[in-house]
Amino acid sequence: MSGIGIDSQSLSLFLTVAITFAMGAFFGYHIFRMRLSDIELCKMQLRSVHRASFQKTKLMNFSEFQVFRVIEQDAAIKRAGLRLVAQAPLGEILQSQHKYGFRAVNGKRVDMLIVDRGGWPLLAIEYQGEGHYNDTSGLRDAIKRTALTKAGIGYLELFPKDKADRNLLLSRVHAKLGWAAPVRESNVHDLRSHIRAVHP
């Protein structure tokens, strides 16, 4: 009887080792295939790039760039140490543990983004120029606005009528940054304190 017991234990141990080895080989093979697939995908993309022709294009259209220049040259924004970025990808300035929620914004961009001196995003700006809207543009803007607002990033839509008046345009930007009055040298310190309070 004891001989049979030993044989059973040996068989059980052998089966355990065999199953473990087989599972390791199975998963190892699939991990290798996954890595190989990534390499092959990159090679395929490289071959496609070699075959294709490319031409440079403007980052922004003429109207967007006009608005960008007005905000970029604003003395108050410069004194506060803020910077303006064009075509900022939301996937780089937002994070979320919700997989599908993040996927919904990952491929989207905002026309302009104001960041503080530490690189924290403060205000996203969308310029709704002529011909901007189509069947889905309102929904796409709502997706961006909702995600940015949840993350504590301001959101401002500008229109052609704002572009016509430089002071009006800048006053709308300043108001969204939380500046109640025109920024002068005397209250730049208060402005910087406000920014640090928003993004410590």
The answer on pLDDT for 162 being more than 50 is yes
Closest C-alpha among 179, 160, 197, 199 to residue 74: 179
SS3 assignment for 116-139: CCCCCEEEEEEECCCCCCCCCHHH
Give the three-state DSSP class for 199. coil
Kindly indicate the confidence band of residue 43, based on its pLDDT and cuts at 50, 70 and 90: confident
- CA dihedral sign, ordered 163, 128, 198, 81: negative
The model carries a pTM of 0.70
Give the residue, 126 or 40, on which the prediction is more confident: 126
Give the residue, 61 or 30, on which the prediction is more confident: 61
**Looking at residues 31-54, what average pLDDT do you find?**
81
Token readout for 74 is 């604003």
CA 119 to chain centre: 13
- What integer pLDDT is reported at residue 50 of this predicted model? 95
Give the residue, 132 or 174, on which the prediction is more confident: 174
Packing angle, helices 166-176 and 62-72, rounded to 10: 70
**Looking at residues 135-162, what average pLDDT do you find?**
92
Say how many C-beta atoms besides its own lie within 10 A of residue 102's C-beta.
Answer: 15
Rounded to 5°, angle at Cα 7 from 3 and 8: 115
Give the three-state DSSP class for 30. helix
Kindly indicate the confidence band of residue 29, based on its pLDDT and cuts at 50, 70 and 90: low
Give the three-state DSSP class for 193. helix
- What integer pLDDT is reported at residue 79 of this predicted model? 93
- What integer pLDDT is reported at residue 15 of this predicted model? 67
